[in-house]
Amino acid sequence: MKKALIVSFCAFFVLASIGCGKKKPAGMPDLQPTTLTVTQGGAPLAEAVINFKAVDSSMTWTCGGITDSKGVATIVTHGQYKGAPEGKYKVSVMKTVGEGTPPPPSPIDEESARVYKEYIDSGATYEEFYVVDQQYATIETTPLEVEVVKGKNDLTVDVGEAVKEPIRQSTGVGGAIPM
């Protein structure tokens, strides 16, 4: 009897929890289920950061996502609500990669200063690169536009061929290069 009561309570709790979603902020419009597939030269682009900016400046809700291994981002509004409001959007896409050994965080105490000095003395190098052409990285310069309509939206954009544009670098030879 006690076991049945516990199972019943757990089932009730699970069912009650399912009905309790995150409450949307006041004034948030209806969100439409939206995915964006990003390709680069026709191949899926994984781990790219996506941002939507409404063409209509009165729409201020932030939307975006990060692509998975298949190049697909599930778009969320304000970082937590699945979907995007209806409308036309400019789309920015950014992805970076690093080569070498990343430097440790800036020293804040004696131990981290020792680790940082060891890194500098080791001659290790690290360089980061943009792998998506920088015209796609900002809302002001991106040529990409999509439209979210009522209902399910499966959108696709292509960011052209891969590039390798240096962002910053650090080296253990002679100290860090300013970033």
- Domains defined along the chain, listed by start: 29-171 (2.60.40.10)
Q: How many CB atoms lie within 10 A of CB 42?
A: 7
Distance CA 66, CA 164 (A): 20
The pLDDT confidence band at residue 14, using thresholds 50, 70 and 90, is very low
What token pair was written down for 22? 């995150």
Q: How many CB atoms lie within 10 A of CB 48?
A: 24
Least confident of 4-18, 85-99, 109-123, 128-142: 4-18
- Which pLDDT does position 106 carry in this prediction? 86
Average pLDDT of span 136-164: 97
Average pLDDT, rounded, for the chain: 85
- Which pLDDT does position 140 carry in this prediction? 96
- Which pLDDT does position 139 carry in this prediction? 95
Residue 34 has pLDDT above 60, yes or no: yes
